[in-house]
């Protein structure tokens, strides 16, 4: 019996914290080295984790549990892929054999449009209004409610993206340092520790950090499958709700991303109606994370949850107060470094509480001023939205075409900065372990960092999120060439070295340790944390 089985930690292995003595940890580290003398990349990750363990044990009495716990989620394969990329980043001239970053949902396709506007509007950059400096005004302390001009420009931009089918009141918006802060702030406002939110799978891996780490809120997955294109069903929601109750968790709401990250699809009207009906019946909250709403590049059109409330004449009911929207300029405008996010809520208590909490993560007044001028330029605003969507559509087509040439399909999508790619036919078996083996080969051998579906809590092995908007067209072309060569070599032979490595991992069981958080079921994590 392997060590993972002895600890009773579930299919995907052992938490390092369960090894109580340093000597035992050292012993297993020696075994790891002996078994994996030719596999330094795994030992490197293992070594990092053992060092982290020693640090936590020795300083546990000096630091808080939050500082020393391992619940941040950064040892998910989603973040491990980033770490490997940072060690060996691709550069067309300086490191042409490096890892190409395809795990970062960043929109770099329309920087030229933004830079052109900035060149024509130097006053906005230079902290001037009508040619006069307002530097002092912006440099001094600003109230955490935010600049009125920016809040008005932001809600106008949000309405424009939604075809002006709905409007937003600037008094109901709370500015935050990005969508990460917005989602966490809503957790603090709506739930207590050990309360739960239901999330449809697959979902953005960062939610394990954003929603849970500091708040103590639990995530219960609503399992969606490829049989209906991963759409939400009534039975799936009910099953998740019952599962939470069995775990003695109080369900406070549902959180969705629309358009979906990682699927790259917009939710159907039927799904949105189903969600509204469910939260009405259960008297719980609904958070709609709509940070990709401006990236929809083809039909069907994006439907905001606020539009559903309007069409169903629910705007003057108590249901409206339990529906909240998260927005950001990181994806639609391609400005993640500016850290501009927002909460929109019709509940005055939520708005008041979130506003107070926003003092821990304010948007700088200089940033607000610059963007208020930019987003108030209606001609530019409309031009940017249309042009950016066309560029996303073109780049999306190039990725899909490249995948098809490599014999790989993907979920049909119409939004976002990524595709949900189907590599099930490349798995050695229909297991998450086989998915991780494939992912390792793609990262280390093919030199592409993509996100495995298990890191997104997908219930089916073999799906991967692949981003396309954070690189040049030439880099995307090279990535597809690498992937095609890999698929051809994989299908032409079983790759003897890969099979030997697989057998070795199966014998040792230790290879499962590294990627624990990506696969552990909700129940397994529940037991670990207790």
Structure tokens at 342: 């927002």
Go through the chain and tell me how many residues it has.
530
Instruction: Give the active site residue among 90, 203, 204, 369.
Output: 204
Do 81 and 75 meet the contact criterion of CB atoms below 8 Å apart? no
Q: Is 204 a catalytic residue?
A: yes
Torsion-angle region of residue 365: left (phi > 0), alpha (psi -120 to 50) or beta?
Answer: alpha
What is the C-alpha separation between 295 and 417, in angstroms, rounded? 8
What is the C-alpha separation between 425 and 408, in angstroms, rounded? 9
Structure tokens at 428: 């050695």
Instruction: Give the active site residue among 237, 287, 291, 408.
Output: 291
Q: What share of the chain is helix, strand, coil (3-state, %, to 5)?
A: 50, 10, 35
The CB-side HSE value for 89 (13 A sphere, CA atoms) comes to: 8
Q: What angle do CA 424, 427, 431 make, to 5 degrees?
A: 90
Strands (E), 352-458: 409-410, 418-422, 448-449, 451-452
Q: Is 291 a catalytic residue?
A: yes
Instruction: Give the active site residue among 9, 212, 331, 447.
Output: 331
What is the C-alpha separation between 178 and 185, in angstroms, rounded? 11
Q: Can you tell me which residue has the tokens 């340093």?
A: 22
- List the one residue out of 404, 398, 412 whose CA is nearest residue 471: 398
Give 256's strand partners: 288
What is the C-alpha separation between 161 and 296, in angstroms, rounded? 9
Contacts of 192-195 spanning 24+ positions with Cβ under 8 A: 192/216, 192/217, 193/217, 194/218, 194/249, 194/250, 195/249, 195/250, 195/251, 195/252
- List the one residue out of 330, 376, 340, 380 whose CA is nearest residue 129: 376
Q: Is 90 a catalytic residue?
A: no
> Do the bridges between strand 218-222 and strand 323-328 make them parallel or antiparallel, or are there none, so unpaired?
unpaired
Q: Is 394 a catalytic residue?
A: no
What is the C-alpha separation between 383 and 113, in angstroms, rounded? 9
Instruction: Give the active site residue among 210, 289, 332, 347.
Output: 289
What is the greatest pairwise CA distance in the chain? 76
Question: Catalytic residue numbers?
Answer: 204, 289, 291, 331
């Amino acid at each position: 019996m392997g060590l993972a089985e002895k600890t009773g930690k579930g299919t995907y292995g052992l938490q390092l914290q369960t090894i109580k003595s340093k000597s035992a940890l050292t012993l297993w580290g020696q075994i790891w080295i002996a078994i994996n003398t030719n596999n330094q990349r795994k030992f490197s990750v293992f070594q990092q984790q053992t060092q982290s363990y020693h640090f936590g044990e020795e300083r546990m009495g000096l630091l808080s549990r939050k500082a020393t716990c391992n619940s941040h989620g950064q040892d998910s394969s989603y973040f491990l892929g980033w770490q490997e990329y940072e060690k060996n980043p691709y550069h067309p001239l300086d490191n042409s054999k490096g890892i190409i970053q395809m795990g970062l949902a960043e929109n770099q396709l329309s920087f030229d449009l933004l830079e052109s506007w900035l060149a024509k509007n130097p006053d906005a950059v230079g902290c001037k209004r009508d040619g006069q400096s307002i530097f002092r005004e912006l440099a001094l302390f600003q109230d955490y409610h935010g600049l009125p001009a920016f809040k008005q420009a932001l809600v106008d931009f949000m309405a424009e993206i939604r075809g002006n089918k709905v409007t937003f009141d600037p008094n109901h918006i709370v500015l935050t340092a990005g969508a990460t802060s917005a989602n966490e702030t809503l957790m603090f406002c709506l739930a207590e520790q050990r309360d739960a939110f239901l999330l449809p799978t697959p979902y953005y891996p960062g939610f394990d950090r954003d929603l849970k780490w500091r708040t103590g809120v639990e995530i219960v997955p609503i399992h969606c499958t490829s049989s209906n294109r991963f759409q939400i069903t009534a039975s799936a929601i009910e099953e998740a709700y019952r599962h939470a109750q069995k775990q003695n968790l109080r369900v406070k709401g549902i959180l969705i991303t629309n358009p979906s990250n990682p699927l790259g699809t917009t939710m159907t009207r039927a799904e949105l109606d189903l969600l509204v009906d469910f939260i009405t019946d259960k008297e719980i909250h609904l958070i709609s994370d709509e940070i990709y709403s401006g990236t929809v590049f083809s039909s069907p059109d994006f439907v905001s949850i606020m539009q559903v409330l309007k069409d169903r004449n629910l705007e003057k009911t108590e249901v409206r107060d339990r529906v909240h929207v998260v927005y950001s300029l990181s994806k639609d405008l391609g400005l993640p470094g500016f850290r501009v996010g927002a909460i929109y809520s019709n509940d005055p208590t939520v708005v008041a509480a979130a506003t107070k909490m926003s003092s821990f993560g304010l948007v700088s007044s200089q940033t607000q001023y610059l963007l208020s001028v930019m987003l108030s330029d209606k001609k530019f605003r409309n031009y940017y939205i249309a042009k950016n969507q066309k560029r996303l559509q073109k780049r999306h087509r190039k990725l899909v075409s490249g995948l098809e040439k490599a014999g790989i399909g993907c979920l049909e999508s119409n939004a976002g900065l990524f595709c949900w790619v189907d590599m099930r036919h490349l798995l050695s078996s229909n297991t998450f372990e086989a998915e991780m083996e494939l992912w390792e080969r793609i990262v280390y051998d093919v030199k592409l960092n993509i996100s495995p579906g298990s890191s997104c809590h997908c219930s089916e092995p073999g799906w991967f999120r692949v981003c396309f908007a954070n690189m040049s067209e030439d880099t995307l072309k090279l990535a597809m060439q690498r992937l095609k060569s890999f698929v051809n070599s994989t299908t032409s032979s079983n790759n003897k070295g890969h099979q030997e490595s697989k057998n070795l991992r199966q014998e040792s069981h230790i290879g499962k340790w590294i990627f624990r958080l990506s696969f552990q079921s909700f129940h397994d994590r529940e037991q670990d944390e207790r």
